[in-house]
Structure formats: C-alpha cells, structure tokens
Structure 1
Amino acid sequence: MNISVVIPLLNEQDSLKELHDWIAKVMQSNHFSYEIIFIDDGSTDNSWQVISDLNTQNDTVKGIRFLKNFGKSQALHAGFKKAQGDVVITMDADLQDSPDEIPELYNMIVNDGYDLVSGWKKKRYDSIIAKNLPSKLFNWAARRTSGVKLHDFNCGLKAYKNLVVKNVDVHGEMHRYIPVLSKNAGFTKIGEKVVQHQARKYGETKFGMNRFIHGFLDLITIWFISRFGRQPMHLFGALGVIMFMIGFGFSIYLGIDKLYLNTTGRLITERPQFYIALSTMIIGTQFFVAGFLGEIILRTKRNKERYLIKDELNF
C-alpha cells in the first residue's frame, strides 16, 4: 500500500464527507493505493455515524472511536499503530489542510529520501492575536531548544516513512513535537514544504490559551527528555554531588572553626552556616535518590496504552 492518511478529529461531522471525497479524488487521479483512517477522539456530534456511512461507501475508509476525548496525541498514536502504508500522511479534519499537497509530500518521502516532511503554513487565515502570534513565539522557542529548523512545528499536515511512526512514541500533548521526537529517535532527515492553508469552513477552532501554555510546558519536557531521558542520573547525580559538596564544605569549615578558631563559645547550631550545610547535604542526597529512582523506572517501565477504544471499523 502506498499511503495511509491518518486523520484525528473531534466534532467535525460537517467536514468529513467533503474531506473524504477530496482525498479520494487526489488518490485516484494519482493511482495511489491508500487507506483513510479516521480517529474519532470522543466526538459528541454525529462524526462517528458519518465515518460509518463513508466506510459503507468506500472500503478504504477505516475508523477508530475513543470511549472519550483523550487528546490528539493519543489519536495519532492509535492511527500510527494501525497504519499500513509505506508513507503515512497526517492532516486535520477541518478542511484547513489541503489533500492536493499529498502527491508532493509522498514524492519527498519516496524519491527525495526524507524521513519526515512537515508542512509550513506560511500564509495563515487564523486570528492574528489568538493563534498567529502565539504560534510564531512557540515555533521560535521550539527551534532554539530542539535544534530542528522548522518554521511550523504545529502544522497538522505532515508526511512520514512508515518506519518513523512505528518507532516514535506520541503521548500527552507531544504531537506538535513529533519532528523533535523523530530526531531524538535517529530519524534526522527532516524536510519542510510550504503548504496551502485554508480558512475554517465549518465549526470553530479547538485552539485556546491553555493549549498554548501546555505547548511550552511540553517543550520543556521534550528538552529534558532529549538531554537526560535515557540517563537521569547524569543530571540528578551531578546536582546531588554539587549540593552535597557545598554542605560538606560548610561542615568542615564549622568543625575547624569550632576546634581551633572559635573564641566566643558560640554553639554550632547558633550559626547560619550549620543550617546551610544541613539543608544542602539533605537536598544533595534527595537528588541522588531521584536519579536512582529514575534509572530504576527506565529499566522496569511497561508500555501501557493511554486511551480506550470503543469501536473500530474495517480493521
């Protein structure tokens, strides 16, 4: 199979039929073998019924329905797990991503040898204050901390080699950082393509300031995991050594001062250096324990799905 199109969605009943017909037209005109995987992330409208009807009309349509809303990352994870195509395309269900971009994205993966190609919505039709400015700030911070030189990390329109989606763990709200996760996994040939962005035709955006804040918190998490995720002792052990040595140094100073220099008869517990030494040595020990616990967790962790599937179609 040439292409798997993975489409996470939440309450997009009005756009699904139009999006399906558009994708099918592009696939047929380019003679691609394909599958369309819709992941219904706990919609409360008739999205699942629309997907069921599309499956009846076209057996290339497949569906996954979550028991409740678990988030876009979990939806992508479920879709990636089922995808069979040599190239996996992701796009949003709101018709803001154009299926006409699929052939060129496919060629960049197959012919140009990219592991991942990310779309760049150079000209946007979103609200400047609500989305454009926060997005620019977010992308700037992501470039500086990750070293991945993309203009639009959060663009839903991306293309991947099948091997990439099978080996990158997407969870929490990490979908916007899949290029960074891919780089950390060893898939370093990452490209970018300017793609057409269209104004939302139906419904309303799911973007809010909470997603903007969560995005930056996730960016810090990604930075930490990429630097110390495999060996947490390298961070916590180093901090533990520094803190413990500071405390130990103050302890030696207090001992020497008490034995040889103290002419006033002050008790050690009456001196502020005593509490500095005690606190830093305790904190240093706690950092060491945190590092050991992190190493133990890494060696004993078990993978567990972070979502519950209610229904599946055509799998």
Structure 2
Amino acid sequence: MKIIIVNQDHSRTRTYSGSGKWVGILFCCAFMLSMAAGGAMYAWLTNDQEHMLTSEGVKNWKRVLDTQQQDLGLVRQQAQNQLDALMLRLAELQGRMTRLDALGERLTSKAKLDDGEFDFSEAPALGGPQEFAEAEAAYSKVSLIDAIDQLADQIDNREKQLDLLDNLISNRTLHDDSFLAGLPIRKGWLSSRYGRRTDPFTGKAAWHNGVDFAGKRGSEIISVAAGVVVWSGTRSGFGLLVEVNHGNGYLTRYAHNEENLVKVGDIVARGQVIATMGSSGRSTGPHVHFEVLKNGKPQDPSRYIYRASN
C-alpha cells in the first residue's frame, strides 16, 4: 500500500510504501488518541457544568457580579466628582478670562492705541512651521487637570502683569492731566503780561502777579490741568474767583469771572470749563486774570502756558 503526502501549496509530494498490517496499526492508534481526547473534554465540561449549576456556584457568581457593580458605581461616582470639579474650575477660568478681556479693553482705551491694534474680542493669531514627530515625542503628555492648572497659572501671571500696567497707565494719565500747560481760554488774546507794569487805575508802576487774557464777555474759561476746586466765590480785588489745587504744591487762579461754574470740592479735568469771562472786581473790561502759584509763591504763567503738554 502507498501513502502520498502533498504539501499545502501543492508544490511537492512524498510517497511512502507499507504493508496492510502497519497501516491498520497506525489507524488504530489515531482512533484511540481521538477517543481519549474527546473523553477528557467531555469530563471537563461535565464537571464544570455540574459545578456551575450548583446553588453554591450561583451564589459565587452573584457575589462576583455584586462586587463588580459596586466597583462600577464607585468608579462612576469618582468620575462624576472629577467632572463637577473640572466644570467649577472651568467656570472660574472663564470668569477670570472675562475680567482680563474687560481690563484689556480699558487699557487699550486709556493707552489710546489704534483701533484694531489689540482686539480682545478675537482669538490671538498663532502659527509656525510644522514640527517632525520626533520633536513632538520629546514632550511628555500631560493630563487634562495638569493642563487646566497650567492655564490657571498663566492667567494669574497675565492678571498681575495687566494690573501693573493698569496702575502705570493710570499714574501716567494722572500725571499728564495734572501737568500745567496751555491757555486758560478758548478764544481771546493776551492783554497784560506778568511782572512790572503800569497800574490801569492809578497810572503808577505796579507789580502784576499773573497774566490777563481779554475776550468776549461770557467766553469760556478752562482749567489748564486736572485738580480740585478749593475756592469758588468773590474775593476782594479779584471779583468772582476760582482756585484749583493741582497737587505737588501747584495752584491756579482764574479771576474777574462773570459766572463760576464749579464749586468747592469739585474735581475738574484738564480743559474743563470752570467759569465764563467777565469784568467783576477791579477790572476795566471782560478778561480773565490767570495766576500760577507754587508752594504759595507766584510764578510766571508764561512758563506753563507755552510749554508742551505731555
């Protein structure tokens, strides 16, 4: 008897010759091995099935399922707690971002930046060349919580920087507003300078502590710098008078007014109208007598009138 064995790809074959006796023995051995394996499999399934179908086996499975359900509930609760914490953290960061946007808008306005130079309503522009995967692998991945904490630190740093910038701009604005410069009128002309002059009433030499600007009655008189009104009323020789304290020892006077438009305690800004031009007090016609005092001593107003504003 011949036995032909063919390879799986049918490329080669092998032929074996043998007598009928050896072939029968070979088949008997194969049959016995198959029966033995089947019996072992049946015994295992039967024993395991019998064990599973007992009341004790059912109880064990129920305990396992109860434990797994408890573990699942615990994991779900922990996940919900973490999600709630992340939502609260996110709400806090959103509130801080809103504050930063408002502060940035105010600083943009105070700094008088060009329209559109800093637009806090738009996302910042980003870009850069594409990096290779090897470069990305150099950075370790961070968790979502770590990323949120890093963002919070960055926002805190930006808040401190913007607060400092806000203080600097506010101080600069306050200094600029209190800087004495410019004319106390919008319309008019210089009619008398500071220093020695001929008194218009006696004709004798006299000293003039301010400068006079003549103009149309009722013309606007403006403050040359920001400050606080410390006098608003009549004073001998000055008629209706307004005095403004600008800090750092500086005080300005606006006299012979027709009407005072501010009262004591008012805070005035540079360029604000504080009175109208008149001829009250010792005066020969509509004008404003303008004085500058530093630490109580008269100064030549022309030094402040014609100097450049900050």
TM-score normalised by structure 2 residue count:
0.22
The structure carrying a bigger helix percent of its residues is 1
Higher RCO (CA < 8 A, seq sep 6+): 1
The structure carrying a bigger strand percent of its residues is 2
